[in-house]
């Protein structure tokens, strides 16, 4: 059997790699393949990237890992892309073997794949990726925007840059502590990076207070769905001790009203399949499931 060779991406081929990402993003999870994300791609130790090319020098497969402070603290790294134009499992194996030396210190490598992409699911399963969970993508295009009614003692305040980063993290981390895939705490530095991103919308981050204490957060940011503008909602989090009071619905409706004020005709969000409570909330507010993604995990500690 011919041994496949994966080559480290060189600067001279970055544009070709980015074009490969654009070519295939519609059949993959495009979270890190949209133009805004690709515009920030640089060759660095934080983005180890390998390619496989055909005899004509054209890229036919690629693997690119995202290593940053968040992934290192959580010991889980996510692939920007791991894809081959062939169903040859040896290509995936070659890419994985090339990437693994860069994953020292990681427990798992994650990759999201549309559940309907059975060819990719089978190829990745053959190189020891296993389904860890499923995530649903939901879209809302209902023109009616519900009213936001705040109970006595509650107020919604727009996020204040330079002041609210720690408060935002406190609520987000407490609310997501047991949510699979989000257990690693966010930091104020991550929030500062988030509000400096190309998808940031002024006023898109809101904090819900109860008698002066922050109890919930929600974010709306620029996104697109099927090549049309959309506002992405998330994170949406409520402190555990404040859950069960309808505050998630208040935050969701506040985000929807903000989307309407920004002239977005559609909103989009993701929810873990096991989070039935959140799903019921979103469906009840006129969201419809449009896609299912499988989160695949490769267990690094099994190596060697």
The mean pLDDT of the chain is 93
The whole-number average pLDDT for the span 94-111 is 95
Both 153 and 104 in one domain: the answer is no
Looking at residue 198, its pLDDT comes to 86
* Distance, CA of 10 to CA of 179 (rounded, Å): 38
Both 262 and 152 in one domain: the answer is yes
* Strand duo 267-272 + 228-238: pairing: parallel
Both 157 and 274 in one domain: the answer is yes
DSSP readout, 144-202? ------PPTTEEEEE--TTTSHHHHHHHHHHHHTTSTT--SPP-HHHHHHHTTSTT--T
| Residue 2 is assigned to a structural domain of this protein | no
Looking at residue 1, its pLDDT comes to 43
* Distance, CA of 58 to CA of 96 (rounded, Å): 20
Both 148 and 128 in one domain: the answer is no
Both 131 and 148 in one domain: the answer is no
- Total domains, the chain: 2
* Distance, CA of 300 to CA of 162 (rounded, Å): 38
Residue % of the chain over a pLDDT of 70? 98
- Better-predicted residue by pLDDT, 54 or 227: 54
Identify the domain containing residue 226 by its residue range. 143-285
pLDDT at 178 over 90: no
* Distance, CA of 217 to CA of 60 (rounded, Å): 42
What confidence tens digit (pLDDT) does each residue in 20-78 have? Answer: 999 999 889 988 998 888 998 999 999 999 999 998 999 999 999 999 888 898 899 99
Contact 99, 61 (CB under 8 A): no
Looking at residue 303, its pLDDT comes to 44
Quote the Cα angle for 219-231-15, to 5°. 105
pLDDT at 224 over 90: no
The whole-number average pLDDT for the span 217-223 is 96
- Better-predicted residue by pLDDT, 181 or 264: 264
Both 164 and 182 in one domain: the answer is yes
CATH of the domain at 185: 3.40.630.30
Query: Residue 112 belongs to what H/E stretch?
Result: strand 108-114
């Amino acid at each position: 059997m011919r041994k496949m060779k994966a080559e480290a991406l060189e600067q001279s081929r970055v544009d070709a790699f980015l074009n490969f990402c654009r070519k295939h993003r519609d059949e993959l999870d495009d979270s890190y393949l949209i133009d805004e994300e690709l515009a920030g791609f640089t060759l660095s130790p934080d983005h180890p990237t390998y390619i496989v090319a055909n005899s004509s020098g054209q890229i036919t497969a690629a693997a690119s890992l995202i290593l940053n402070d968040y992934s290192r603290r959580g010991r889980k790294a996510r692939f920007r892309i791991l894809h081959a134009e062939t169903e040859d499992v040896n290509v995936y194996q070659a890419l994985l073997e090339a990437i693994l030396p860069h994953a020292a210190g990681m427990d798992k490598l994650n990759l999201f794949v549309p559940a309907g992409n059975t060819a990719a699911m089978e190829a990745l399963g053959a190189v020891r990726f296993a389904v860890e969970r499923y995530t649903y993508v939901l879209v809302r295009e209902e023109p009616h925007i519900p009213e936001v009614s705040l109970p006595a003692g509650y107020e919604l305040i727009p996020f204040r840059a330079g002041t609210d980063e720690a408060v935002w993290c406190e609520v987000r981390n407490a609310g997501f502590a047991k949510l699979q895939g989000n257990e690693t705490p966010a930091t104020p530095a991550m929030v500062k990076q988030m509000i400096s991103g190309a998808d940031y919308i002024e006023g898109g981050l809101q904090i819900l207070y109860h008698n002066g204490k922050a109890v919930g957060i929600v974010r709306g940011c620029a996104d697109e769905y099927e090549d049309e503008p959309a506002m992405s909602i998330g994170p949406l989090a409520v402190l555990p001790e404040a859950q069960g009071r309808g505050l998630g619905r208040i935050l969701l409706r506040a985000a929807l009203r903000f989307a309407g004020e920004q002239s977005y005709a559609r909103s989009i969000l993701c929810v873990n399949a096991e989070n039935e409570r959140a799903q019921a909330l979103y469906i009840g507010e006129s969201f419809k499931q449009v896609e299912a993604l499988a989160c695949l995990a490769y267990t690094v500690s099994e190596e060697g």
